[in-house]
A and B are shown apart, each in its own frame.
Chain A
Amino acid sequence: AQKVTQAQTEISVVEKEDVTLDCVYETRDTTYYLFWYKQPPSGELVFLIRRNSFDEQNEISGRYSWNFQKSTSSFNFTITASQVVDSAVYFCALSDTGTASKLTFGTGTRLQVTL
C-alpha cells in the first residue's frame, strides 16, 4: 500500500529564513507521481508541483525548489527567503498505477513565518 509521511507537524521560522519541508513516501510501483499542495488559511488546496518517478531532476520555481531522491524515497520542498505569505499547511501527495488517479496525502506540515 502507498503511504506518505510528513514527520514535521509544525515549523516556525522568521521571515527571510530558508526552510525545508520533508516528505517520505512508500509505494511498490515503479511508475508514480508526487505532488505538493499548499493550503493557506482560506482552506483551498493550491497545486504547486507534480513530478513523475522517472524524472529525478531537481526543480526550481522562484523561491521554491524541490529535491526528489528515489534512493531515499524522499521529495523535499525548500522555500528560500521565506515570507509571511508562505504561512500555510503544506501537503505532499502520491499517486501510482496501483491507485490510478487517487491521491494519497501526508498529514501536512504547518509553516508559520513571522516578522
Chain B
Amino acid sequence: GAGVSQTPSNKVTEKGKYVELRCDPISGHTALYWYRQSLGQGPEFLIYFQGTGAADDSGLPNDRFFAVRPEGSVSTLKIQRTERGDSAVYLCASSLSEQETQYFGPGTRLLVL
C-alpha cells in the first residue's frame, strides 16, 4: 500500500516568511510524528499526535513552530517568521498506534535564505 507522503519535497523561502509542510500518513495509522534532521545528524523529535491531539510537543524548539492534525489523518507543520537556522529536512512518520514501529516519509527539505 501507499507509504507516508510529504509535500512539498523541497521548499525555499526567505527569512521571516511563513511556511506550511504537509504530511499524509499511512492509511489507518493513528499515530503521527514530526522530526527534524540537520545535515550530518540523526533525526530529532518535534511533536507527535495520537489521533487529533498532540500527545507530546516537547520537541518543538519555540513558539514559531506549530502543528495540527484536525481530522486525525493529514498533519501540517507550520513555521512562522522563518530563520536561517530552521533550514533542515523535516521528516514525518506514522505508526499503527503508539509504541508501534514508525514508518517515515521522504521528507521536506526546507531552505531559508
Contacts and interface: CB of A to CB of B under 8 A. Distances in A.
Interface of A: 4, 33, 35, 37, 42-47, 50, 91, 93, 95, 100-108
A98 to B, nearest CB: 11
Interface in B76-113: 89, 91, 93, 95, 98-99, 101-107, 109
Contacts of B42: 4, 91, 93, 105-108
Q: Which of under 10, 10 to 19, 20 to 34, or 35 or more describes the interface residues of B?
A: 20 to 34
B43 A103 contact: yes
Query: Nearest 5 CB-CB pairs, A to B?
Result: A105-B42, A45-B104, A102-B45, A44-B106, A101-B98
A33 B102 CA distance: 12
Contacts of A108: 40-42
B103 to A, nearest CB: 6
Given A45-B91, A101-B33, A102-B59, A107 B40 contact: yes
Contacts, number: 62
A35 B103 CA distance: 12
A44 B104 contact: yes
A50 B109 CA distance: 27
A45 to B, nearest CB: 4
Given A101-B48, A101-B99, 9 more contacts: A43-B89, A43-B107, A45-B93, A100-B48, A100-B55, A101-B98, A105-B42, A106-B42, A107-B40
B101 to A, nearest CB: 5
Nearest to A93: B42
Contacts of A100: 48, 55-56, 98-99
A107 B37 CA distance: 10
A33 B100 CA distance: 10
Contacts of B101: 35, 47, 50
Contact of A102 (B48, B104, B106, B107): B48
A33 B89 CA distance: 25
Contacts of A103: 33, 35, 43, 45, 102
